[in-house]
């Protein structure tokens, strides 16, 4: 009774038949979102679409902790049978502030190491042995973020370890981050590059930089970094 007062959403996790009966008559949460939450939810789905990630919308998924806000998620592997969840988490807007910190939103998740290892083995996937990063993609244009994420996803599916900035940092700050992550190559995506059909590519070891046409990027990277073991079917 006390929990239902503090977090009524936990009723979705209730295993008592009385709860299940009530839920069958209750409206789905995604049908009663506020305008701001609906906009956020649509943007989350857009990012998933850009990255080509398969997902199933389950309006009754809740997490076991009460500090989550907006979206929560579970990551599953079809290779594991009934116990197929390998990771789960969600967004929390107020947790840091509730713990005495500044009002900063965050996102967290937990991964089951044993299940993840088993899923990778059954799927024929290997972990990265090299501690450095192959590629870091930089953009300072907010409306090019979806384009950047799309190219990041393609490069990852080609077997490259790749990352980008997720905090809208300045270009200088992104370069510092790329250096901190020991990126071998930095790729620049900007308005000028898109207009000319090229990408700026910087070799971090030699500090040399050149423009590479979109269609030649993979061959260029293979020459610089060698061919990688592909995973998935994108790109």
Q: How many CB atoms neighbour CB 185 within 10 A?
A: 21
98 close to 92: Cβ distance less than 8 angstroms: no
Identify the three-state secondary structure at position 27: coil
Compute CA distances 174 → 178, 181, 217, whole Å. 6, 10, 21
Identify the three-state secondary structure at position 120: helix
pLDDT, one tens digit for every residue, the chain (235 residues): 555 666 666 667 666 676 767 777 777 778 888 899 899 899 999 988 888 888 888 877 777 677 888 888 999 998 888 888 999 999 988 888 889 999 988 889 999 999 998 988 888 877 666 678 999 999 988 889 988 999 999 999 898 999 999 888 999 999 999 999 999 999 999 999 999 999 999 999 999 999 999 999 999 999 999 876 665 544 4
CA distance 75 to 80: 12
234 close to 154: Cβ distance less than 8 angstroms: yes
CATH pick for 2-123 out of 3.30.930.10, 3.20.80.10, 2.60.120.10, 1.10.10.2160: 3.30.930.10
Q: In terms of CATH architecture, what is 133-225?
A: 3-Layer(aba) Sandwich (3.40)
- Ordered by start, the domain boundaries in the chain are 2-123, 133-225
CA distance 144 to 35: 24
Q: Whole-prediction pTM value?
A: 0.69
Answer whether 2-123 and 133-225 agree in fold.
no
| DSSP assigned state of 164 | E
- Report residue 85: phi and psi, to 5°: -80, 120
């Amino acid at each position: 009774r006390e929990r239902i007062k503090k977090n009524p959403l936990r009723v979705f996790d209730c295993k008592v038949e009385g709860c299940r009966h009530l839920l069958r008559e209750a409206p789905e949460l995604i049908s009663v979102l506020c305008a701001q939450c609906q906009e956020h939810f649509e943007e989350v789905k857009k990012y998933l679409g850009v990255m080509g990630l398969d997902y199933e919308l389950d309006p009754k998924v809740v997490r076991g902790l009460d500090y989550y806000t907006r979206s929560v998620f579970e990551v599953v592997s079809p290779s594991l049978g009934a116990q197929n969840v390998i990771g789960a988490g969600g967004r929390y807007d107020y947790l840091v502030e509730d713990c005495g910190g500044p009002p900063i939103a965050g996102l967290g998740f937990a991964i089951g190491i044993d299940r993840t290892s088993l899923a990778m083995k059954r799927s024929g996937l290997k972990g990265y042995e090299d501690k450095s990063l192959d590629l870091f993609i930089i953009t300072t244009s907010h409306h090019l973020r979806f384009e950047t994420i799309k190219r990041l996803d393609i490069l990852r599916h080609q077997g490259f370890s790749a990352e980008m900035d997720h905090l809208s940092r300045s270009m200088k700050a992104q370069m510092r981050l790329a250096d901190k992550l020991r990126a071998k190559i930095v790729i620049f995506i900007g308005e000028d590059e898109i207009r000319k059909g090229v990408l700026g590519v910087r070799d971090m070891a030699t500090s040399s930089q050149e423009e590479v046409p979109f269609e030649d990027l993979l061959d260029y990277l293979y020459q610089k970094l060698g061919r990688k073991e592909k995973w998935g079917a994108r790109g």
